Amino acid sequence: MRVFQTIEQVRAERGRGPLALVPTMGALHAGHLSLVESARKKADTVAVSIFVNPTQFGRGEDLSRYPRPIDSDLEKCQATGVDWVFNPSESEMYPPNSAGIMIDLPALDSVLEGKHRPGHFRGVCQVVAKLFNIIQPTVACFGQKDFQQLRVLSAMVEALDFPIEIVACPTLRDPDGLAMSSRNQYLSPTDRQKALSINQTLFAAREMVGGGVKQASRLITRMQQDLLAQHLSIDYVAAVDPLTLKNVEVMTGPTVLAIAVRVGATRLIDNIVVTPV
């Protein structure tokens, strides 16, 4: 496995063949590694980027305490058969005095996460567009765990004509159902127990949909009640169209049920796609 820290090193190595990229912020878990497996099915060369991107964190968010266990991340990449890791420094990605650039997708990036984390998707689009230009992957894999990010980036690729196939990968969960996340390691045992109500709430809503409920307001009320019963602080509970991310009133097709909550000082998100019967 090759580990590159500079853009120049990547440029010197990158030929023209198919390459699948898995962009990450590190603190790798089995969810990230499942993206590597998906990437492997798409191209002979698999690259993982590990970069905690400062421009996607808002003021007061967890940038400084975000975990950065680079040695164990590299071991995991090696064990999973990753060919290259790109692990640039902050100054490599954002040289001092370089011009900032903003990519806005107003209809998609101002709702849900975008509403609660202003500027977040600008930062995500900025870093992913840069990674695409540096590494020039033919395929890039993203998790449905961050379904809005996946939608925003797919729209960016379409709008800017990046010649890159975006692959959506399913959410990996711990055996108890909690969606894997680098942020789960912030949770105390008590908070982790409380966090389980996020996935349990989503699964209960899916049961309701299976039982014939189509009205989003009924699902949302029930989900809010379930989360509040566990004393979680709700950022949002929503039922949205997977393409437009607009709120759905009565479900007529696949709908994303999305939750963002704070468990103690930790902000967690999760979602599932449900289809009315």
Residues in the site for ligand AMP, rule: CB under 6 A? 24-25, 31-32, 34-35, 142-143, 145-146, 169, 171-172, 179-182
Give, to the nearest 10 degrees, the angle between helix 120-135 and helix 147-159.
60
Strands 255-263, 233-240: pairing is antiparallel
Supply the minimum distance, in Å, between the C-beta of residue 153 and ligand AMP: 9
Beta bridge partners of 256: 240, 273
Residue closer to ligand AMP, measured from CB, 82 or 216: 82
Full DSSP string of 15-37: -SS-EEEEEE-S---HHHHHHHH
Residue closer to ligand AMP, measured from CB, 87 or 182: 182
**Residue among 89, 87, 76 at smallest CA distance from 35:** 76
Supply the minimum distance, in Å, between the C-beta of residue 212 and ligand AMP: 30
Going 225 to 170 to 130 to 28, the CA torsion angle's sign is positive
**Using CB atoms within 10 A of its CB, is residue 95 exposed (0-12), middle (13-18) or buried (19+)?**
exposed
Residue closer to ligand AMP, measured from CB, 147 or 216: 147
Residue closer to ligand AMP, measured from CB, 84 or 142: 142
Supply the minimum distance, in Å, between the C-beta of residue 52 and ligand AMP: 9
> What residues act catalytically?
32
d(CA 134, CA 6): 10
Residue closer to ligand AMP, measured from CB, 198 or 216: 198
Supply the minimum distance, in Å, between the C-beta of residue 213 and ligand AMP: 27
Residue closer to ligand AMP, measured from CB, 32 or 122: 32
**Using CB atoms within 10 A of its CB, is residue 67 exposed (0-12), middle (13-18) or buried (19+)?**
middle
CA-based radius of gyration for the chain: 19
Supply the minimum distance, in Å, between the C-beta of residue 24 and ligand AMP: 4
Q: Which DSSP symbol is given to 140? A: E
Supply the minimum distance, in Å, between the C-beta of residue 7 and ligand AMP: 20
Strands 255-263, 266-274: pairing is antiparallel
d(CA 35, CA 37): 5
